[in-house]
Amino acid sequence: MAGHVSLMQGRRIGAASPVADADAQGLAAGRLELESALREALSERVGPSKFGLWFGEGVHLGVPGDGGALEVQVPSVFFRDWIRDHFSPSLIDAAQAVTGRKVELRFAIRDEADPPLGDVVGPAADGPGARPGGTITVPVPGNPKLPLGSPPAPGRPDRRPSHSPRFDFPAADQAPAPARPMPSARAPRRLDDFITGPCNRLAHAAAREMIASAGSAFSPLLIHGGVGLGKTHLLEATAHGLRQAHPGLNVVWTTAEAFTNGFLDAMRAGTLANFRSRYRGVGALAIDDIHFLAGTKATQGEFLHTFNALAGRGVPIILTADQHPRRISKLSDELVTRFLGGMVVKLESPDLPTRRAILQARSASRGVSVPAAVLDYIAEHLRASVRELEGALHSVIAHALLTGKRLDLSLAKAALRDTIRHTAAAIALRDVERAVCNLFQVEPDSLKSDSRARAVAYPRMLAMYLARKHTGAAYSEIGRFFGGRNHSTVISAEKKVSGWLRDEAQAALLPGFESASDLLAELERTLGA
């Protein structure tokens, strides 16, 4: 009988369960619909970029209980503090818009077991100005059941996004170990493969000294220059040389973009401690394209602290940038002064003998005998970058292999006809005006005015010099273009700039350039001359 009653009770429970399931499903659907409305309202108030950064999948919004509070579930204490300090008014406003009533704001750390509530505090404003009404109930952080930085369980792949440097990091709780290069289809670049000339000899020597002294002679070493001049080659070769010369040294070579992405991921996931341990525990740090940090205030702050931590331990730091640190827009003064505290060297466009030597070395490395006339033709017509030279050589060799024709000057001219035609595009007076105005941040009308102020007169003289050198225009035509001046003014400007170049005059007019020749080289690079 007892069994019969138990069976009947089980049947009654089973009969009632579909209703309970339906109720639970309805509640879940309602919560999802409410969260979707809250997220949409919040996105409208903070903007899609901030919303995507701070309110992704790891943050959940809900109105539990009697609906008197908006609960924000966050993955870490860092997220709680940041969202509380920067988005409280927007959260309260969004909740009021959706629910139609005033609410308090509560935070909960995800996976925190029954966190005790702390004091009720007023919400921080999104920006400067008065704070709107409302309160926040802030839970006191407890110990999460599973830290976000914990490794995945055995047998389960780690599906976290990867923005790792090109050399492995040590685990956060281990002492830094010698980094191993990630599998690659090519061997690391070496300094022995770097062809030197007047354009890059100082940078090459600085890289050798960095390897020999492991940063004791100077640090950081910052190499800057235009696209395709060999900055990444030197950076990779220096990192590789440090690992070869100092076995056991944990060398990390990465890009500023990877550093930024890794920092943002760590903030979202609440794993900043792991991120900092990785970068601040290295034995040498090489970062490509450091100008990528410009304009990213939070990432610049993080890199500044990383830089200080490494510099305090005497760790060698090698950086590359597309221009002198003083000319990187929106780079903080703190970083600029630290970069200038080491050695800053510039890579110039290679001259004709260096271009020819590069082509000879590259053809020899491929085991191809290229006639001297072909090498001379490429070197004379392609002057902007090493990458352009190598691309042209590869194109000529591939053309000969694919067509079965003899590799000679006529084949090279045919293979590179379009490349050289576009490279040698005519430079107009307006192109010169645009390049000068962009570099000196002056208006075209000022350049053509009667002003004799140095901030206008010197750029005008440089523009006239470049116009005469690269456009083929007559003195009188150049004078008319730059404010209706006569030909003698243009001749005088040409002589003045030639004197600057001859005397290697210092370029005090614009920070970031050591001499007038550097200034002109930058303008000519912009013009593609």
E strand or H helix that includes residue 429: helix 429-440
**H helices present in 47-76, as ranges:** 48-54
Burial class (CB in 10 A: 0-12, 13-18, 19+), 297: exposed
Sheet-wide strand order for 343-347: 251-255, 284-288, 317-321, 221-225, 343-347
Cis peptide upstream of residue 220 (ω within 30 degrees of 0): yes
Annotated binding site for ATP: 228, 230-232
Read off the DSSP letter of residue 406: -
φ, ψ (nearest 5 deg) of residue 467: -65, -40
Contacts for 347 with CB less than 8 Å, ≥ 6 apart: 199, 200, 203, 223, 224, 225, 226, 229, 230, 231, 234
Place of tokens 């930058």: 522
Per the rule left: phi > 0, alpha: psi between -120 and 50, beta: everything else, 170 is beta
Place of tokens 């959706």: 98
Q: Residues annotated in the binding site, as ranges? A: 228, 230-232
Of 512, 468, 53, 24, give the one whose Cα is nearest residue 269. 53
Residue with the two structure tokens 């053309």: 399
Helix axes 272-280, 256-269, angle to 10 degrees: 150
- Separation between Cα atoms, residue 21 and residue 27, nearest integer Å: 10
Which positions ≥6 away from 271 have C-beta within 8 Å?
A: 148, 149, 265
Q: What is the DSSP letter of 230?
A: S
Closest CA to 74 of 141, 21, 122, 154: 141
Please say whether the beta carbons of 360 and 239 come within 8 A. no
The secondary structure element, H or E, covering residue 350 is none
